[in-house]
Structure 1
Amino acid sequence: MYDSGKIITGLVIFVALFASPFILNVGGGAPAVPQPSLDTPAIKSMGNPVCVRENMQSNHMQVLDLWRDSVVRDMNHTVPGIDGQLYEMSLSNTCMECHSNKAEFCDRCHTYAAVDPFCWDCHIEPPKEG
């Protein structure tokens, strides 16, 4: 092995570069998952706030996709909520009525998850709360 010094040096550099992300991340921990703020006037005015659907935090994209397909393809505009009341299938009129602070409620989690939802390509973004 005439080039053993070069090979060993190359392997050490390779292992150092490969391991550096793991070494630098030790002890840093994962950033805290943001919790959506339920501190809006509409939610505060409710005695016992209940969302239209169960598990919205974990399944909201699937629910909104189903709502979109139901409204656009089937012309069905209402959905029964978990309280039995009929609600309009509308991001702007139903969801954003209670969750009016988009920056606090939507954007924090989407930024954390590195997700760029296309909801606002069609829907009008709610006015910013001052």
Structure 2
Amino acid sequence: MYNAKAVIVGIIVFVALFTAPFWLSMMGKDYKSTGIELPKGEKECIEDVQFMRDQHMRLLNEWRDEALRKENRVYVATSGKKWNISLQNTCMKCHNDYEGFCQKCHKANGVDPYCWTCHIIPQGSK
């Protein structure tokens, strides 16, 4: 085989470049902490803090499917507490500061959610 060494080096370089994003994501930190805390006067969120950091978008997508497609409007948290499935009336009841809460985390982590194509952006504390 002609240029066997060059072919082998080329394959190794290709595999390294192709898998680089996977290796870099494993070495890095997934979530950038922004110092966001529970709103004043609130003792708990729907789930624990780590779950909400990691899975809140998945939870919101599940809520959408449950409420709109299956007509189930009640979410039972891992604590056993029941919550009304509603972005506007459950989540935004506490997290009503869009710039200081939602946007702060999304900008820090480079996320551009599509929530606001349908929902009204909150205009600050009431």
TM-score range, shorter chain: 0.5 to 0.7
Count of aligned positions: 95
Q: Give yes or no for the alignment of 1:51 onto 2:50.
A: no
In 2, distance between residues paired with 1:68 and 1:39? 23
SS in 1 for 2:96: coil
Aligned partner of 1:75 in structure 2 is 71
1:8-31 Cα shifts (integer Å, max 9, x gaps) = xxxxxxxxxxxxxxxxxxxxxx9x
Report the Cα distance in structure 2 between the residues aligned to 1:93 and 1:85, rounded to whole angstroms: 16
Report the AA paired with residue 80 of structure 2.
Answer: G
Matching residue's letter, 1:80 = V
- Structure 1 stretch 55-64 or stretch 112-121: which is displaced more? 112-121
For 1:102 and 1:83, locate their aligned partners in 2 and report how far apart those are by CA, in whole Å. Answer: 27
4+ residue runs over 3 A deviation: none
TM-score computed with the length of structure 2 as normaliser: 0.65
Cα distance in 2 for residues equivalent to 1:58 and 1:108: 16
Identical columns (%) = 35
| 1:36 to partner: Cα distance | 4.9
| Superposition pairs of residues 96-111 of structure 1, within 5 angstroms | 96-111=92-107
- Partner-residue secondary structure (3-state), 1:79: strand
> In the superposition, relative to structure 1, how do residues 39 and 63 fare at CA in structure 2: closer, same or farther (>3 Å)?
closer
Gaps of 5+ in 2: 1-28
1:63 CA displacement = 0.6
Q: Which has the higher contact order (CA 8 A, sep 6+)?
A: 1
**Structure 1 residue ranges without an equivalent (≥5):** 1-29
Retained in 2: the 8 A contact 1:36–1:109? no
Q: 1: CA distance between counterparts of 2:102 and 2:35?
A: 7
CA drift at 1:33: 2.4
Amino acid across the alignment from 2:68: V
2:115 corresponds in structure 1 to 119
Distance 2:92 2:62 in 1: 17
Give the structure 1 partner of residue 16 of structure 2: none
CA RMSD in angstroms comes to 2.3
Q: C-alpha displacement at 1:39, in angstroms?
A: 5.6
